[in-house]
Amino acid sequence: MKLKNLIGFGAVSIAVIACATNPVTGRKSLQLASDAEISTMAATEYQKTLSSAKVVSGTAQAKSVTNVGNRIKNAAYNYYKSLGRESDLANYNWEFKLIEDKQLNAWCMPGGKVAVYTGILPVTKDEAGLAVVMGHEVSHALAGHGNERISQAMVAQLGGAVIGSSMSNSQWASVFEQVYPVGAQVGLLAYGRKQELEADQMGLYLMGMAGYDPRQAIPFWQRMEAASSGSQRPPEFLSTHPGPDNRIGQLNAHMDKALAYYRAAGGK
C-alpha cells in the first residue's frame, strides 16, 4: 500500500476513535487531544494574561459578568446532567473575569476560563446582551472547538500518526501555542466558520436555558455590526465570524427551539 494511502487509512481510523458529538447541536468533530492537558495549559495561559491585565472586581459590571457566567454555566451543567453526560465537564474549573480594555472582545479558553473586556459592555448594554456574548464564547469551549483546532493542527503537522498522549512535550507545546497564541492575543482562537455558527446556535440555546431572552441576540449582533462599521478592520470578536445577514438568518432558524428552552426556564 502506498504511503499516502496508509496515512489516509490512519486518518480514517483516528477519526472513528476520536469523533466527538456535541450533545447540544449534534455536530460531530475530530478531537484527538487530551481535554485534561488542554485545560491545564489553558489555565496557565489564563493566569499569565490576568497577571498582566487590569482585572476589574467589585463593580456592578464585574458582578454582572460573574452572574451571567454562573447562570450559563449552571444551565449547561443541568442540560449535560439530564443527558447523563455531566462527566464531559469534569475538566472545567470556571472563572469569569472582567478586564479593563477598550477592545470589543470576549473569549473563553478550554476548561471554562472566561474574559470579558470592558470595551464590549456599551454594546451588550445589559445582562441579556452579555449573555449573548458569554453564551457564544462558553459554547466554543463546551463544543471542544479548541480541541478540534488543535487536532487539525496535529494532523497537519504529524499526518495523524501521533495521538495526543504519545506526543512529546515540545510537540504538544508547539501545537498548543500555534492554536492559542500567547500574550495579548491569548484566547483569540481563529475558529472556522462552522465552529462560529455552531457557537451561535449553542449560545442561543444556553442563554435561553439560563433564563435570558434569546430574541435579544438579534439586536445585540446588529449593535455589534454598527459598532464595527467605519473601521478599517473589524474587532477581533468579529474578525472570523459569519457575515451579519448570514448570522441573523441562522439565529432566526434556531430561535423557536431557543425560545422553548427559555420558556421552560420560566421566560415568556
CATH number, domain of 141, equals 3.40.390
Percent of the chain topping pLDDT 90: 57
Q: What is the pLDDT of residues 167-196, one digit of tens each?
A: 566 666 677 766 665 443 444 455 777 888
Q: Specify whether 86 is catalytic.
A: no
Banded pLDDT at 95 (limits 50, 70, 90): very high
Give the β-pairing of 28-30 and 113-117. Answer: unpaired
Of 95, 137, 196, 225, the active-site residue reads 137
Q: Quote the mean pLDDT of the chain.
A: 83
pLDDT of residue 194: 86
Tally of structural domains, the chain: 1
The domain of 159 spans: 3-264
Q: What is the mean pLDDT of residues 233-260?
A: 77
* Prediction pTM value: 0.84
- Given a cut of 80, is residue 1 above it in pLDDT? no
